Amino acid sequence: MFKQQLDLDHEKSIMLCICKRVYACFCASPKLEESFCKAKNIVHVSVSDEKVEKQSKIYTVVVEKVLKGDKDALSKLTKLKTGQSSASCGISLKTGEKYLVIVTINDGEMSANSCSNIQINDKKAVYALMQNPPDAKVCEKYSKQ
């Protein structure tokens, strides 16, 4: 009996793990002023439609105002591509709403992600930023970081 118990104590266990690939997005949330200063392209857009294609969401937008970047080029663009979910660093926009978005230009299409974007729910702060953006002296401190 003692021998049987001893044999059981020495049995090896095998653990089988069937895992799917897991994606996650994590990034620091800089202050509104810092995001504005470091961005190359910032647009104020209104969203008119949303489509899901593969792993992306593609929003149809109208560029209401270009705060930073090439005004002629940005104002002609009508598509904004982002990740399908927050796990893939996508941003979530609602049809009929207006947003201030930091974008990059790829193949004639705007793209945005949550890591490079202005994360703010305070519409008053966004409006204030649009009316009075930080000047070059203010932004200079962020370029040294």
Reference 66, options 57, 77, 55; nearest CA is: 77
- Tell me whether residue 115 is annotated as binding: no
Calculate the alpha carbon distances from 124 to 62, 119, 127, 128, 131 in Å: 21, 13, 5, 6, 11
Reference 100, options 138, 135, 133; nearest CA is: 133
Residues 6+ apart with CB under 8 A from 81: 56, 57, 58, 59, 106, 109, 110, 111, 112
Name the phi and psi angles at 89, rounded to 5. 65, 25
Binding site members: 25
Binding site members for Zn(2+): 25
